[in-house]
């Protein structure tokens, strides 16, 4: 097996519009670097790519253009290329958010596309013999389900460490599931937020490049666990995560033979004008807002405005896609958006006896993926562009495909 890492700093050195929280002001500085991180692996003479950059979302057309260019240059099949983001809310506005009036920095987006292609090519050209150690730890007391403190959340941190023929670390792949939203809308410093701080601390500790990606964090954040705020909270939480990873880690060598790569997809058409939930809930919110406190009225108006925006922009045609990379004892599954924790549990219970790493925000962004049983209960539903049951249907397709490999 061969592997290689590449890191590309894409931090702009001038004020830019930021994505997240509907900010009106441009950035005023840099808290930590905005990066592209690439891992290329070659197993059984088959290369595949995992490239993650620091953005709030990613667009399918952007991804497909990159895949086509990489395929032309390196002859890596499009299916073998994963492009994703970490979902920081404090990076430049590379893309337009559906529910925000974000001013996109199109020149930056165009340059990042070029930089991602360059990063993938550099990593591919520097492949070296390597072996992998799989590590896992469970994080407690720092983040969890943001709707119910005792609700389910995937608190596993999955790590793939790559060693060269001299047994020296050449890089680490880290997968964690938590919203990187410690910095709020008042922050105007560019930052990869929590995942960026964890990444930097691990790089300092391991003395090697670290690629970090997000998992099923649709309903997971630090909301119920914060002790401080802003940069102080970032330092505390990231340090605590890294310390728990070190103290609780379990390691094993996995059997990575019998590589299989496949994908599955489906199309969702959502018309909020005709959606039963959207219409009935909009009526309920408008009626309820007349007899509540000003604070609650403001929140109800926010929810109602989301439903109105859905109607004004309908119909939505969304392409849900998943790439599955499977070996005998390890499987990587990509998912295209803010995926709720329930689906991580459902996938792992449906496909037992194999380590599964779930990468969210990858290859496309279709908004929140909310399970049917909780559809309509929490904020995630008001930010989704998928009707009830569509996410469940898609995840079941992913499970069926993965189990068949």
Alpha helix positions (H), 186-320: 193-206, 230-248, 276-288, 294-313
Rounded Cα–Cα distance for residues 335 and 163 (Å): 28
* Dihedral Cα 73, 74, 80, 81, nearest 10 deg: -50
* Rounded-to-integer distance, Cα 97 and Cα 227, Å: 30
Question: Are 49 and 81 in contact, with CB atoms under 8 Å apart?
Answer: yes
The three-class DSSP label of residue 331 is strand
- Tracing tokens 């601390």 back to the chain, one arrives at 201
* Edge-to-edge strand ranges of the sheet holding 316-326: 260-270, 316-326, 330-334, 355-359
319 is in an annotated binding site: no
**Three-class SS state of 212:** strand
- CA–centroid distance for 349 within its chain: 21
Residue 89 marked ligand-binding: no
CA atoms of 22 and 100, how far apart (whole Å): 6
Q: What are phi and psi of 325, to 5 degrees?
A: -115, 115
Nearest to 19 by CA among 122, 99, 128: 99
Q: Which residue ranges make up the annotated binding site?
A: 87, 179
Q: Which residue ranges make up the annotated binding site for Zn(2+)?
A: 87, 179
């Amino acid at each position: 097996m061969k592997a290689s890492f590449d890191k590309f700093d894409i931090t702009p050195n001038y004020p830019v519009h930021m994505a997240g929280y509907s900010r009106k002001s441009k950035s005023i500085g840099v808290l930590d670097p905005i990066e592209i991180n690439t891992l290329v692996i070659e197993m059984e003479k088959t290369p595949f790519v995992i490239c993650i950059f620091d953005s709030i979302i990613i667009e399918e057309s952007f991804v497909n253009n990159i895949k086509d260019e990489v395929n032309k240059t390196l002859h890596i099949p499009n299916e073998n290329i994963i492009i994703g983001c970490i979902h920081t809310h404090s990076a430049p506005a590379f893309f337009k958010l559906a529910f925000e009036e974000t001013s996109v920095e199109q020149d930056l987006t165009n340059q990042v596309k070029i930089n991602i292609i360059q990063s993938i090519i550099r990593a591919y050209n520097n492949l070296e013999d390597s072996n992998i150690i799989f590590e896992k730890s469970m994080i407690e007391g720092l983040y969890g389900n943001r709707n119910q403190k005792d609700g389910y959340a995937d608190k596993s941190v999955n790590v793939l460490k790559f060693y060269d023929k001299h047994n020296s670390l050449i890089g680490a792949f880290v997968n964690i599931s938590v919203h990187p939203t410690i910095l709020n809308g008042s922050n105007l410093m560019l930052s990869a937020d929590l995942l960026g701080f964890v990444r930097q601390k691990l790089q300092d500790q391991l003395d090697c490049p670290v690629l970090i990606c997000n998992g099923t964090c649709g309903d997971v954040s630090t909301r119920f666990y914060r002790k401080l705020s802003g940069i102080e909270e970032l330092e505390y939480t990231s340090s605590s995560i890294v310390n728990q990873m070190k103290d609780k880690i379990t390691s094993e060598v996995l059997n990575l033979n019998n590589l299989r790569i496949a994908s599955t997809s489906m199309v969702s058409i959502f018309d909020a004008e005709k959606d039963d939930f959207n219409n009935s809930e909009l009526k309920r919110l408008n009626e309820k807002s007349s007899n509540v406190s000003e604070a609650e009225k403001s929140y109800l108006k926010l929810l109602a405005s989301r439903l109105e925006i859905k109607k004004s922009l309908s119909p939505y045609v969304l392409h849900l896609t998943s790439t599955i990379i499977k070996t005998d004892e390890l499987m990587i599954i990509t998912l295209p958006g803010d995926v709720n924790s329930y689906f991580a549990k459902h996938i792992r219970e449906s496909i037992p006896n194999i380590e599964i790493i779930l990468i969210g925000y990858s290859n496309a962004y279709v908004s929140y993926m909310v399970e049917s049983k909780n559809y309509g209960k929490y904020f995630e539903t008001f930010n989704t562009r998928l009707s009830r049951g569509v996410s469940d249907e898609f995840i079941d397709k992913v499970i069926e495909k993965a189990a068949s490999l």
